[in-house]
Structure 1
Amino acid sequence: MEMGDQEVPPAKPELELDFTGFLQETVGAALSSYGWFVLFSCILLYLLKQKFSSNISSLLTTAQTTTAADPDEVVRRQEAVAAARLKMQLELDAQAERYKEKQRQVEEEKRRQKIESWESMKEGKSYKVASHVSQPQEPSASTSASSSAPKPKPDRRTLRNSGYNPLTGDGGGTCAWRPGRRGPSAGG
């Protein structure tokens, strides 16, 4: 037999050979590089499907039972919601009324203090002293907040009567007024 007499199977087209070679190269390279990731991703997807398929089916059955609920039950729920809203609205109205009353009392107290200070100013007294004396002391909510608050400065009259003079430096402060040097100025 001669070599030329043998039948040669029909050759595949060259385009098909290029595509299969390309496919084997790229898929083979991808699987060799990322094969474990692909395997674990498939397992993870399968487990998630198993877990959530029961949840989805239970949600669907719940939705179907909700739509098939008794109309009387729906009416009762709506009435309960309306009653709860009404109750909350009444509480809110009561709180608003208490707040308005408190604001009225504060405004009335301010007005009364202004009248007292005006009256004391007419009599020749210091209107500031009268307003400070007439203010009621309210207890603070926390003792730490009251201790950190700055102390009020003493009134000018009480300082004059006590003999305090800021220019003499008797107040215990480090700054004191001192007269300038005597003699000619040191100029050129």
Structure 2
Amino acid sequence: MDDVQIIDVNEDGEEMPVVHKSSLENQDLGFMRQTAEDFLGQYGWYLLFLTVCVILLIQYLSKKRASQGNKGSSNETAQDPALIVRRQEALEASRRRLQEELDAKAAEYREKQKKLEEEKRKKKIEIWESMQEGKSYKAKVSSQAEEASSSSAVLKPKSDKKLRGSGYNPLAGDGGAACSWRPGRRGPSSGG
């Protein structure tokens, strides 16, 4: 088809200037994208630097505000000397109590150590005396171990029941006809 040209004529018959209107396109936000890309291309590093500075400024101001808040609360307690005295006395009393507990535990520990050292010293003296008499100190130690084991544990009665005779050996195969053990065949396995 041929293009048809429309001419606008006014009432006098004169041609009016033709205003060319662009055809309607899909008007999405594509032009905004192009504008944003251009802007970030030119000023992107400046925006990044400005953002970091703002974040650091906010953190600094929040810390400053928090420290000023603490100073205000400490000023309130500083104005009440009776409260400060009571706190210090309570702190001192708790320290004193903990120190007394620690001293008591240390004294108990020292007593236990002295008892253990005294027992070791007595054992060494007994061993030395037994060696002077010509006895073995190992016999003395073993007899003490037997006394300790007999006093702490109940002994089981020994049974004299022999297992199938005096020469019983379960690997020899002479114990019984039904239970004889034979070693396997030597050599490579024949599995596949």
TM normalised by structure 1 equals 0.48
Instruction: Considering Cα pairs closer than 8 Å and 6+ residues apart, tell me whether 1 or 2 has the greater RCO.
Output: 1
Larger helix share, 1 or 2: 1
TM normalised by structure 2 equals 0.47
